[in-house]
Structure 1
Amino acid sequence: MEIAEKVRTNFEFAGCDTVELAKEYGTPLYVVSEEKIREQCREITQSFLKKHQNTKATYASKAFLTLAMCKIIEEEGLGLDVVSGGELFTAVHADFPMEKIVFHGNNKSYEEIYMAVSHGVGRIVVDNSHELDMLEDITNELKRTVKILFRVSPGVKGETHEYILTGQKDSKFGIPLEGDGILQVVKKATNSQFLKLMGFHFHLGSQLFDKNAYILAIKALTNLMKELKDKLSYETQELNTGGGFGIYYTNGDKPKSIAYFTDAIMEELKIQCNSLQHTVPSVVIEPGRWIIGNAGVTLYTIGAVKEIPNVRTYVSVDGGLPDNPRPALYKAKYEAVIANKNNQPRDRVVTIAGKCCETGDILIWDLETPEINSGDILAVLSTGAYNYSMASNYNKLPKPAVVLVNKGKSDLIVKREKYEDLIRRDIIPKHLL
């Protein structure tokens, strides 16, 4: 006689029961799928790196970076894009290959640039003439040759939230293509003893779903390449086209395969280079969110349930704004499930509120759920990107732990902060003792 398989009622992620994860590690809890990360990396390898010659891919680590993440990215053969001394420090301590690191940032400090040059990072993306001057001073002092790219703002506006647009003319990032500013820095770089100008970088923004913005940017950059070749006899060897490829968060999002973007970029680049009689440069992409975004969920324990008749029902969780500021920053939207009631009918509509002293601390408006009770576990989906990275201690809340899951197994990769950690660096002056 066959015994019927037990019906699974709890939400599972990467083979792990999320309710059990909440019991073992506590909440709030970031949960990250190693399998999903590797799956995304391997799609990049198959659909871009192996498909198109003379290409590279670097993971934009600002989306999510830990020592364990560095190890996964290294094993998958991708490079690492860092934007600060702290991110570079993390990569160094993970023994990540320095030659595969690209160092970004619109206001790098002297100390950060010195650190990058000292460690021999593969590329430094120079954002402005001020950085160029500092970099030249440092390379002259250390007598070390550094390969650089200039970040340019191509004047292309993608369709996304204004706070995550970066490629338009009015941007804090990059050197505008209009005027002679770009010609002046290229002249200076090519005449420098220890700087080797490889080419250019652009990034159009985040959460983009249309390839047309990338095509327009390629046209702008290839025109620049032709102009520099004609006027300065400088031939561009490398073009970094950034990332920004959109992912699924909620109904209405229509994510594309990596090939949708990269095939268009490569095709347009070849067309334009052939037309302008310019050698096709090597191409680099820098996906971050696209790799990690859907690989993460965040678990919370539900506390107070407040029903306001004929208005709405507020369901409060033990986290919120400090562990996920994105909804408050730019109205980011998420989907979620009640993890311990995953198979029950969702016949209620509630609003998920955080526990901070801010009216704007709302994670999700109008979420369809089953009946909710205090102690239930909420799983918010697609929180792999920019949640852990942007976490704060607002209201003196300790930052959550991070767990890496894979095929039913879990490993702690970031410890949960304790109250003691919150005051570890505090100092009381003698006159107050």
Structure 2
Amino acid sequence: MQKLKYERPYIKKLNAGIMNKFGTRTDSQAFTHIDGVPVKSLIAEYGSPVFVLSEKQIRRNYRSAYRAFSTRYPKVQFAWSYKTNYLNAVCKIFHQEGSWAEVVSGFEYRKAIGNGVPGNKIIFNGPNKPKEDLLLAIENDSLIHIDHFEELTLLLKISENLTAKPRVAIRVNMDTGIYPSWDRFGFNYENGEAWNALTRIVNSGKLQLVGLHCHIGTYVLSTAAYAIAATKMADLAWSCKTQLKQTIEYLDLGGGFPSTNTLKGSYLPGADTVPSVDDFAEVITTTLLNSGLPKHDLPLLILETGRALIDDAGYLLGSVVANKRLGDGKRAMVVNFGVNILFTSFWYEHQISPAQDFTPHVENMTVYGPLCMNIDVVRESVNLPLLNPGDHVVVHKVGAYNMTQWMQFITQRPAIVLIDEQQQTHLIRTSETLNYVEEPETTPPHLIK
């Protein structure tokens, strides 16, 4: 009998899509309007890609969050986190609603001043505050949150020549059960660093200690962690009052509340697993009210919530460039926006919706951006209908960090549009041009022909 010819085994990956209890389905339906404005008309007027922000949703989010805390605690103040989205139009919306400004650099501080925020309603956080920035904050009577002993030493030196005492707080880091622990910023609670800093401030007689600040993490999914933080902050405030004879005027619990985006690797959608702002408010306020602090003299509660107030108010509109099959047979779609402008695609499984009617056939695919970089992956695996080049898509919940952490890389950054409460559109940041990108450059004479 003739021996059969040997053939090397070949194993091919089966691309059957994501398997879970929900079955294989498209991640979204056709999304044709934002606040009543057609997606197609937005792209026609402002180009593709383009970011779109909803003023109505921003205001709705702020009012809902403020109501959640103010109905549970007598003194509440929000401070808008500039690093989350420091477009002037966005900041002004939050300031109109009553929010202070929370900044982490001299650049952001000057933006807040330019936006008309009174100096005494600016909270200056961050580990790097050069002398000129500290002097500006002192001149404007802003709240300076001290991050480390070197900064404290610098402030004490500056205050030697001042008649008025600068208003300061310290940032406190602590074990709240979240790991890895956020102990890079501020003074540690457990090892006594925080108490040493507070003692030094009060004993110096040169600074006015008015508050305590903590920020326990980002996209925090545990409400219990905030109960621990609030307990330790209240204990520290009581120790200041009883041992240092210094009344703490406010407790700043920072930010960290998650949006309803879905984190990479999550089994269930973010909307089904993320605690609500009401959940966080209930835990924080209940803890403070039961902490033993005098009911008649409770400290002001400050929140620096960012992403939870604006993520779902932002959209990225773009276009399909091409479709292709990868080496393993999986379908891929190329769009005209990449990770350079959609930075949060490294963190989230963003919902992507077609902006027009589509066929019922759905296939699991990878969505790539246009950059000549292998990391330019908008979605690694997503169930979408088959779209043609020139079709449009909408990426949801992109309002936080994308418009501050984006970068000009290979492609230029797009325009940003605000839809107001009367469904009118406003261009709040123009798209970049070649002249804009090259303006800071200079060419040595010997390279100019």
1:90 and 2:111 matched: yes
1:206–1:246 contact (8 Å) kept in structure 2? yes
- Inter-partner Cα distance in structure 1 for 2:374 and 2:327: 19
1:280-325 superposed Cα distances (whole Å, 9 cap, x missing partner): 3221111110111100011112112222265322211222121012
- Inter-partner Cα distance in structure 2 for 1:157 and 1:355: 41
Which residue in the other structure is 1:146 paired with?
A: 166
For structure 2, the residue ranges without an aligned partner over 5 or more in a row are: 1-28, 263-267
Which residue in the other structure is 1:412 paired with?
A: 427
User: What CA RMSD, in Å, does the superposition of the two structures yield over aligned residues?
Assistant: 2.4
Which of 332, 339, 354 is residue 321 of structure 1 equivalent to?
339
- Inter-partner Cα distance in structure 2 for 1:339 and 1:138: 57
- Inter-partner Cα distance in structure 2 for 1:149 and 1:346: 58
- 3-state SS, counterpart of residue 405 of structure 2: coil
2:30–2:354 contact (8 Å) kept in structure 1? no
1:286 and 2:308 matched: no
Structure 1 residues 142 and 415, CA gap change in structure 2 (3 angstroms): farther
Which residue in the other structure is 1:52 paired with?
A: 73
| Residues matched between the structures, number | 412
Structure 1 residues 430 and 359, CA gap change in structure 2 (3 angstroms): same
2:342–2:402 contact (8 Å) kept in structure 1? yes
Which residue in the other structure is 2:197 paired with?
A: 185
- 3-state SS, counterpart of residue 257 of structure 2: coil
Note the C-alpha offset of 1:380. 0.5
Runs of 4+ residues deviating >6 angstroms: none
- 3-state SS, counterpart of residue 145 of structure 2: strand
- Inter-partner Cα distance in structure 1 for 2:239 and 2:161: 33
Note the C-alpha offset of 1:258. 2.0
Larger radius of gyration: 2
Which of 32, 35, 43 is residue 64 of structure 2 equivalent to?
43
1:252 and 2:266 matched: no
1:399 and 2:413 matched: yes
Structure 1 length-normalised TM: 0.88
- Inter-partner Cα distance in structure 1 for 2:96 and 2:441: 39
Which residue in the other structure is 2:325 paired with?
A: 307
Structure 2 length-normalised TM: 0.85
Which residue in the other structure is 1:269 paired with?
A: 288
- Inter-partner Cα distance in structure 2 for 1:138 and 1:29: 46
Matches within 5 A, 1:49-198: 49-121=70-142, 123-141=143-161, 143-158=163-178, 168=181, 171-198=183-210
Note the C-alpha offset of 1:116. 2.1
Structure 1 residues 366 and 135, CA gap change in structure 2 (3 angstroms): same
Letter in 1 for 2:394: A
2:340–2:408 contact (8 Å) kept in structure 1? yes
Structure 1 residues 255 and 430, CA gap change in structure 2 (3 angstroms): same
Note the C-alpha offset of 1:50. 4.7
Structure 1 residues 71 and 373, CA gap change in structure 2 (3 angstroms): same
- Inter-partner Cα distance in structure 2 for 1:35 and 1:78: 16
Letter in 2 for 1:132: L
Which of 348, 354, 361 is residue 332 of structure 1 equivalent to?
348
- 3-state SS, counterpart of residue 373 of structure 2: coil
1:16-65 superposed Cα distances (whole Å, 9 cap, x missing partner): 11121111101221110000000011112322235421221112121111
2:32–2:356 contact (8 Å) kept in structure 1? yes
